[in-house]
Structure 1
């Protein structure tokens, strides 16, 4: 029997702390929202998943918990870690999805970054590849073959999710105009890494199904 293409739309971390006015704002982060809303309106996905950064307040990646300078890199037990501002703390306003992001009851939410000791950029794994989320299982249970990934931020959570998606065996597409990043240099590195594992980069206007 022929394998049927089944598509999942994975919207990464479109949360208040990552847009303008948030504690870890991605430049022009809010610009992704109308693009994402338009993608889901114009195309038919078999599954829509939102990932949500969901940190405890004592998370080891927060500079304030390490007496460290913001954005410096500190060596923790789990390896080198960027020291971030406090962001997306569980049950805070900053951790909520951006209010004008379309969010249906049928969407699945996968929370990540809940382990105090290790950060979790990807929607699939923590940064140490020690602990998985439910994302891969959810996709496989729904017989998903192709993933379309976008959100915030390009150079961290979105590209890490895309790389892991490809490595889990899904045909993976990264929607560039529905994504914004923190820095040009790290975005270029992320792009190279994605292309190396076979992630296809495209624009929202390339989608038609």
Structure 2
């Protein structure tokens, strides 16, 4: 699964064909968006590096694949998403004492919760909210929250044929957000859907970190919103091989 793989070459040819199939009727040409999900320092060599997760993936391996896509395809819209958490965010294991009073009766007990456990919190009138407890990561305005330095960042000012947007998610203290469209309880949405509609996007291609969480959730919501959606597996890395397999299967079932 490297940038020179046969599958990536085929994908690039496919994307070129999408752009040229309707040259005589340009109004019917597919409008393609590339979503680059959470390619941030903390997920590659920081506090939540994938190599320290069960998958032992090297998150840096997504960089040459994504960069090749950016160099080879003239996408109509490029989206960079960021996990962008306040310091007291609910997903941080070391913030658990701040919300111990919100643990529900059917949650794992405070004494038994560990890093990567799933806690169940009472949440703003909702019955409950399940939350995986992660290491502290991607705190707003820190080095760990920055995009990885070797990732190509497209500057819209120098590329007039493409639109570029940056989306921050997980910005509220008491709720997490895996998807780049919604928070995990679908209470708050980002600007992504409106931006895709504004650009008349038809096809969404999802890359980045982590395959089984933020990539998967974003892709599922893209399907729900009616886009022809693709996960570029060679351009993704994830947390756990089993959940990657399960979630990619669910995604493919949803596409049918």
* TM-score normalized by the length of structure 2: 0.75
Which structure shows the bigger proportion of residues in helix conformation? 2
Measured in 1, the distance between the counterparts of 2:36 and 2:168 equals 12
Which of 56, 61, 77 aligns to 2:91? It is 61
Is the Cα contact below 8 Å between 1:167 and 1:197 reproduced in 2?
no
Residue 75 (structure 1) aligns with: 120
Instruction: Indicate the larger mover: 65-74 or 40-49.
Output: 65-74
Unaligned runs of 5+ in 1: 200-209
Larger radius of gyration: 2
- Residue 77 of structure 1 and its aligned partner are, at CA, apart by 2.1
Measured in 1, the distance between the counterparts of 2:171 and 2:253 equals 29
Where in structure 1 do 4 or more consecutive aligned residues deviate above 3 Å? none
- Residue 32 of structure 1 and its aligned partner are, at CA, apart by 0.2
The answer as to 2:227 corresponding to 1:138 is no
- Per-residue CA deviations over 1:138-174 (Å, capped at 9, x if unaligned) read 0000110000101000000001100000101110011
Partner secondary structure for residue 77 of structure 1: strand
- How many aligned residue pairs are there? 198
- Residue 104 of structure 1 and its aligned partner are, at CA, apart by 1.7
Measured in 1, the distance between the counterparts of 2:59 and 2:77 equals 24
Residue 107 (structure 2) aligns with: none
- Residue 197 of structure 1 and its aligned partner are, at CA, apart by 1.7
Partner secondary structure for residue 255 of structure 2: coil
Which of 47, 50, 72 aligns to 1:23? It is 47
- Per-residue CA deviations over 1:99-155 (Å, capped at 9, x if unaligned) read 010002222100000011111000000000111000010000011000010100000
Unaligned runs of 5+ in 2: 1-24, 51-56, 98-112, 124-128, 157-163
Partner secondary structure for residue 147 of structure 1: strand
Residue 52 (structure 1) aligns with: 82
The answer as to 2:208 corresponding to 1:120 is no
Q: CA RMSD in A?
A: 1.3
Partner secondary structure for residue 66 of structure 1: helix
